[in-house]
Structure 1
Amino acid sequence: MNSTLIQMTLLTACGVVWRLLQPAGLSAMQTRVVLTSVVYYLLMPAMILDVLWQTDMGIHSLQYTLLGWGSLSFAVVCAWLIGWLFRFDNKRLGTVILASAFPNVTYLGLPIIEQTFGPWARSVVIQMDVISAAPYLFTVGLLIARHYGDEEKPRSPWLALNAPPFWTAALAIALNMGGVPAPDWLVGALQKLSAAAAPLMIFSLGLALDWRTISWRNMPYMLPVLLIKMLAMPFGAWFLASHLALDAPHQAAAVLDLAMPSMLLGIVFCDRFRLDSPLYAMAVTVTTFASLLALPLWHGFLVHS
């Protein structure tokens, strides 16, 4: 686990250095938009098709959905209770809920989980994302952001599901259930595209991290985010997973995936719904660096529990 985190830290540091030096005059924002677009529209669909087409889907898939939705709901309730108790204003409360509840299950979770547990764990992460965390985010998460924020042109949250990863997942599941064999030439191409996704994800994360987002004014809001993200939510996920029909390795991989720091996509939600974007950017930076300490501890607990 420590070796994996060192590798991830080095790749992240490359993104941070790029942000500082701006080679060829390319800013971190310009570079990140291009790279994340390539990942979102090409590499991630290729990985989803490769994994879900050949994965033995069944009761485990339902378990991942229950685990994800249950754990995310627990974190949402915890964040709401803290915000209500301390009377956070609406924009900050919405931001704290998003930062506390939604983990970076794919962009950071995928490379860490796969490197830690092995190639088989890629299927766990993909299923935790496309059939659990992402649908919850684009329905419940959008409703939360809309409720506490201010949207100029309201749209149905279900429209967010009209995206390449979801269409690819639907195609892959249909091919899987239909027993259609995957041609070797296509599998080879998909695997080569998939191999490029993880390092670009981590590099893009480094491009997004910015110490300038850290403000003493926002420090009181960081404590509940850290407590929920690094402690309460993983513990709740472990407790729920222990009551589901998952074997120990799959249980550990799924729970560790939910213990990842705040997702990057949340900044888009904050911008769109006029929540506190600087606060959310700070949460991503702080929880990402805090995870370097928390993830090894959770990994040790999960593999020995």
Structure 2
Amino acid sequence: MHETLYPFALIALIGVIFKRLYGNTELIKHSINVVVINVFLPALCIKTFARISLDREMLLVPVFAWLIILFSLTIGIFLSFLTQRLARIDKKDLGILIISSSFGNVLFIGVPVLNALYGSESIKYALLFDYFATSLIIWTLGVFILTYYSDKNSFSIKSSIKTILSLPPLWGIAIGLLLNLTGISLDNYIIESLDLLSKTVTPLMIFSVGLSLTLPNLKNILILLPFIITKLLLSPFFAIMITALFDFDASAKKAVIMESAMPVLLLLLIIVNRYKLNEQLTALAITISTVLSFFTLPFWAKVIEVYVK
């Protein structure tokens, strides 16, 4: 597993160095994220779902993802009450802490990790985990929590649904499934084009993560730590417990557990910026959890290797 993560760490480090050398890289990062979400990731979705074998695991993975995220949210809310009592923290930051405990970077880190560990067939589980669980919950319940604690009261279910339906990768999944179900075969040059576009996803995602990492603010690390522990340790532990109760494909189980162990969602930075909340605290949560994940992910990979057959 460490050998799998070394290339990712190196690419992320290049992103960090690039940011240090060129200063403000927000426009570059934004451009990379836009092109990945709108072009390269939809291509990966179409390619993946047009050729996969459809099975019941495709329905089970989002269900388990929902349960895991809701479990982590519950723990996060409980921890937020304790934090509010024990530490002096702005009420507006509590929502960020709760979300940090619950939503993982299942695309920008999850897709490359699953692909490296379990092969391209496992990518479909990462996409299902994200677009039928993480994205649905973060843009509805997640945004509601953030705005509730910020006192902005700007949550709109109509706006959330509109955002979800406008996600290009979701349409990529729909197109891929339509091609799969109708038995339509794409011409070779289209398949090769999709392959070429798909291959850019991993390095660009990891490089973007590197551009997002910041130097830690020691003052907030102790406040963040219980929430990050929930994300990196309690979530995957719960995933192991709940998937063990059901008999389904081992590769799907492995994917669900690994995805539940991912560090804090990179997209959270964009959402926090949209609602004018604490970007520094959010960036710190992403940075600390991402760095720690290079130690926790190999641990969970070993656990999965032993207990999931």
TM-score range, shorter chain: over 0.9
Structure-2 change in CA distance of 1:140 and 1:56 (3 Å): farther
Is the CA contact 1:53–1:182 (under 8 Å) kept in the aligned structure 2?
Answer: no
Farther-moved stretch of structure 1 (40-49 vs 53-62)? 53-62
Farther-moved stretch of structure 1 (234-243 vs 172-181)? 172-181
Deviation at 1:151, TM superposition (A): 4.3
The residue that corresponds to 1:137 in the other structure is 138
Is the CA contact 2:147–2:153 (under 8 Å) kept in the aligned structure 1?
Answer: no
The residue that corresponds to 2:194 in the other structure is 190
The residue that corresponds to 2:24 in the other structure is 27
Which ranges of structure 1 fall in alignment gaps of 5 or more residues? none
Q: Which amino acid aligns with 1:27?
A: N
Q: For each residue in 1:164-220, what CA deviation from the matched residue of structure 2 results, as whole angstroms up to 9, or x when unmatched?
A: 112222222222222322332211110110001110100111011111xx2232123
Residue 252 of structure 2 is aligned to residue 250 of structure 1: yes
Count of aligned residue pairs for this structure pair: 300
The residue that corresponds to 2:210 in the other structure is 206
Residue 119 of structure 2 is aligned to residue 108 of structure 1: no
The residue that corresponds to 2:59 in the other structure is 62
Is the CA contact 1:94–1:275 (under 8 Å) kept in the aligned structure 2?
Answer: no
**What secondary structure, in the 3-state scheme, does the structure 2 residue paired with 1:61 have?**
helix
The residue that corresponds to 2:234 in the other structure is 232
Give the TM-score normalised by the residue count of structure 1: 0.93
Is the CA contact 1:145–1:269 (under 8 Å) kept in the aligned structure 2?
Answer: no
Deviation at 1:152, TM superposition (A): 7.8
Q: How does 1:45-194 map to 2 (within 5 A)?
A: 45-87=42-84, 89-151=90-152, 154-155=155-156, 156-161=159-164, 162-194=166-198
Q: For each residue in 1:219-264, what CA deviation from the matched residue of structure 2 results, as whole angstroms up to 9, or x when unmatched?
A: 2321212220111111111112222343223211221112010011
Q: Which amino acid aligns with 2:18?
A: W
Is the CA contact 1:150–1:275 (under 8 Å) kept in the aligned structure 2?
Answer: no
Is the CA contact 1:78–1:228 (under 8 Å) kept in the aligned structure 2?
Answer: yes
Cα distance in 2 for partners of 1:103, 1:165 equals 17
Give the TM-score normalised by the residue count of structure 2: 0.92
Percent sequence identity over aligned pairs: 27
**What secondary structure, in the 3-state scheme, does the structure 2 residue paired with 1:120 have?**
helix
Structure-2 change in CA distance of 1:56 and 1:284 (3 Å): same
Farther-moved stretch of structure 1 (223-232 vs 41-50)? 223-232
Q: How does 1:266-285 map to 2 (within 5 A)?
A: 266-285=268-287
Cα distance in 2 for partners of 1:300, 1:225 equals 23
Structure-2 change in CA distance of 1:5 and 1:36 (3 Å): same
Cα distance in 1 for partners of 2:267, 2:239 equals 22
Farther-moved stretch of structure 1 (124-133 vs 73-82)? 124-133
Q: Which amino acid aligns with 2:38?
A: Y
Farther-moved stretch of structure 1 (182-191 vs 47-56)? 182-191
Alignment RMSD: 1.7
